[in-house]
């Protein structure tokens, strides 16, 4: 009887828990639908409906991702309520044209007219409301439109204007980032891209895209074969916290770079440094190093004993490593070769001893 009661209690709790999960799922779905309705209202420029729906989302689903997004929209609308929301209403409609253009392009349909119409619309808003609060945003949208249309020099001119006029504004930060991106990926002007990335890093050290900017510089130096500059950028990051896992990862990046170029004299000492200075197995930094060094001494140097030493360290510290499976054929061959050499030595030693014994008898 006691077990039946326990089972019944468990079933009741399970049912309640399941109901809660279903309700949570329903709430999330409802919040997503509500935010979708907001975006539809934005597309038509219906500011009143945007405010109403965003407020409902914040009140009904206060801790959700959708509520966070709704708060952002409410804050944006509140900041640009001048001229009875007319510039904002028109901005929303132009942004919808851009989204339609992006969708058309992804589907292989004609898309240029969407971008052209949006560009003209942004310019018209500035012409009609030259003093509205949205002017910096509109300039950013114009620059983005020129970029999508492939008019990169015009985009650059607008971006520089944004940087000059709104130096302390978030739009200036965005413009600086876009400059670097255009020079890097559209114009392939790598030297200027590095200049713009560095300006971005210097001006906005706490920006979300800082690591991406640094990676952009590193990739340019790497592709240009500028070894010293490439390594210097990574060493700057290492020196910020030399004992961290991140620093060890950067050392691996440098070692891997030289190894792939066949510059083993530079790569191998760095790999060995990682083993010495970053041995923590939880970091998994040495796992790949053991594999690489084992392969290096086997394939490049022909030093089977040293290769086996690194493979055995790999097996000891990371018994479930995928690299053990990858390198198993090599490990088997190394062991067999070493074993054959030992047998050959024993045979040669035995023959010599036998010959020496026969000589002594004579």
Please report whether residue 226 resides in a domain. Answer: no
Question: In total, how many domains does the chain have?
Answer: 1
Q: What pLDDT is stored for residue 354 in this prediction?
A: 76
Contact status, residue 26 vs residue 55, Cβ threshold 8 Å: no
CA angle centred on 330, ends 326 and 334, rounded to 5°: 150
Q: Which of 172, 98, 105 is nearest to 140 (CA)?
A: 172
Tens of pLDDT, residue by residue over 50-73, are: 999 999 998 999 889 998 999 999
Instruction: Let me know if residue 75 belongs to a domain.
Output: yes
In this structure, is residue 59 part of a structural domain?
yes
53/57 Cα distance (integer angstroms): 6
117 inside domain: no
pTM confidence score = 0.77
DSSP string, 3-67: HHHHHHHHHHHHHHHHHHHHHHHHHHHHHHHHHHHHHHHHHHT-HHHHHHHHHHHHHHSTTSHHH
Place of tokens 């990858």: 326
Domain that holds residue 48: 14-79
- Would 321 be classed as within a structural domain? no
Q: What is the pLDDT of residue 361?
A: 63
Give domain status of residue 300, yes or no: no
Q: Say what the pLDDT of residue 352 is.
A: 79
Q: Are 34 and 66 in contact (CB under 8 A)?
A: yes
Quick one: pLDDT at residue 362?
A: 57
Domain assignment of residue 63, yes or no = yes
Model pLDDT, residue 255? 96
Q: Which residues of the chain have pLDDT under 50?
A: 1-26
Over residues 17-33, the pLDDT tens digits come to 444 334 444 455 888 88
Residue 136 lies in a domain: no
């Amino acid at each position: 009887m006691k077990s039946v009661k326990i089972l019944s209690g468990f079933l009741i709790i399970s049912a309640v828990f399941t109901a809660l999960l279903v309700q949570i799922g329903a709430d999330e779905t409802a919040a997503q639908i509500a935010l979708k309705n907001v975006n539809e209202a934005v597309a038509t420029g219906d500011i009143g409906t945007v405010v109403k729906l965003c407020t409902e989302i914040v009140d009904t689903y206060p801790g959700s991702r959708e509520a966070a997004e709704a708060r952002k929209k409410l804050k944006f609308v509140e900041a640009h309520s001048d001229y009875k929301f007319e510039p904002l209403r028109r901005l929303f409609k132009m942004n919808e044209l851009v989204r339609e253009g992006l969708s058309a392009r992804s589907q292989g349909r004609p898309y240029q007219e969407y971008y052209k119409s949006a560009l003209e619309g942004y310019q018209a808003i500035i012409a009609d409301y030259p003093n509205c609060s949205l002017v910096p945003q509109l300039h950013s949208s114009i620059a983005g439109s020129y970029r999508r249309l492939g008019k990169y020099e015009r985009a650059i001119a607008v971006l520089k204007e944004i940087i000059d006029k709104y130096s302390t504004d978030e739009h200036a930060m965005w413009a600086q980032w876009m400059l670097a991106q255009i020079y890097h990926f559209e114009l392939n002007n790598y030297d200027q891209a590095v200049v713009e990335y560095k300006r971005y890093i210097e001006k906005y050290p706490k920006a979300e895209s800082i690591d991406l900017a640094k990676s952009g510089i590193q990739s340019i130096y790497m592709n240009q074969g500028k070894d010293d500059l490439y390594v210097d950028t990574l060493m700057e990051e290492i020196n910020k916290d030399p004992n961290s896992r991140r620093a060890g990862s950067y050392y691996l990046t440098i070692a891997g770079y030289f190894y792939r170029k066949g510059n083993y004299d530079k790569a191998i000492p760095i790999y060995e440094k990682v083993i010495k200075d970053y041995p923590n197995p939880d970091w998994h930094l040495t796992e790949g190093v053991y594999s690489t060094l084992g392969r290096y001494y086997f394939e490049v140097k022909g030093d089977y004993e040293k290769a086996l030493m690194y493979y055995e360290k790999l097996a000891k510290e990371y018994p479930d490593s995928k690299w053990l499976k990858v390198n198993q054929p090599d490990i088997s061959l190394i062991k067999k070769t070493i074993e054959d050499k030992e047998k050959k030595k024993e045979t040669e030693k035995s023959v010599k001893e036998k010959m020496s014994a026969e000589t002594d008898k004579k």
